[in-house]
């Protein structure tokens, strides 16, 4: 399956914050949306300036305590963001996520942010594809061909 097909089902909404947003505010947004990472964007979600995940926040709080919550997200975010294109295949994303050991990939088309894919989205697609393959094989065997 291609990422553009996944986004057609999942939608294009990406939760973003500006780079000067405090970590305390980011935590509230993560909680409100039930997500694990946020794309940082300084043009209201048009382009990607960085990404911050719950792991970055856990690390900062472990290092600096509650004071980390007052820092701007720009202090913690990863700026070297790996992205993918809508034309990429789910299998390609699985390889990228495994190689880099992260669970979120913003989808960018012609420099513009058009979606985000999490490892949960990828697993959901693969489980459904495997169920379909199993069903097809059962039908094939049952038909005696
Ligand atoms: P995650 O597994 O997505 O929670 O992220 C683990 C670490 O990788 C954190 O330091 C994130 O800031 C970073 N990270 C997450 N997604 C990406 C991405 N697409 N490109 C670069 N770094 C990322």
78 CA closest ligand 1 atom index: 12
CATH number for the domain that contains residue 115: 3.10.580.10
Tokens of 132: 């379909």
Between CA 51 and CA 49 the distance in angstroms is 7
Question: What distance, in Å, lies between the first and last C-alpha atoms of the chain?
Answer: 28
pLDDT tens digit string along 66-95? 999 999 999 999 999 999 999 999 999 999
Answer with the residue of higher pLDDT: 125 or 62.
62
How many domains would you assign to the chain?
1
Who's near 57: CB < 8 A, 6+ residues apart?
A: 23, 26, 27, 68, 76
> Which residue range forms the structural domain that includes residue 18?
3-143
User: Does 73 sit in the ligand 1 pocket, CB within 6 Å?
Assistant: no
User: Does 82 sit in the ligand 1 pocket, CB within 6 Å?
Assistant: yes
User: Does 39 sit in the ligand 1 pocket, CB within 6 Å?
Assistant: no
Identify the pLDDT of residue 44: 84
User: Does 55 sit in the ligand 1 pocket, CB within 6 Å?
Assistant: yes
pLDDT tens digit string along 21-60? 999 999 999 999 999 999 999 888 899 999 999 999 999 9
């Amino acid at each position: 399956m291609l990422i553009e097909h996944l986004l057609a089902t999942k939608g294009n909404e990406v939760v973003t914050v500006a780079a000067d947003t405090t970590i305390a505010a980011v935590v509230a947004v993560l909680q409100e949306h039930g997500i694990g990472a946020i794309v940082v964007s300084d043009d209201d979600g048009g382009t990607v300036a960085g990404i911050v995940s719950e792991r970055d926040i856990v690390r900062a709080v472990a290092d600096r305590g509650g004071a980390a919550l007052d820092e701007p997200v720009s202090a913690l975010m990863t700026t070297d963001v790996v992205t993918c294109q809508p034309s990429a295949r789910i299998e390609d994303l699985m390889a990228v996520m495994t190689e880099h050991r992260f669970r979120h990939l913003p989808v960018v088309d012609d420099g513009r942010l058009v979606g985000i894919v999490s490892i949960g989205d990828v697993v959901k697609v693969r489980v459904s594809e495997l169920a379909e393959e199993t069903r097809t094989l059962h039908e094939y065997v049952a038909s005696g061909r």
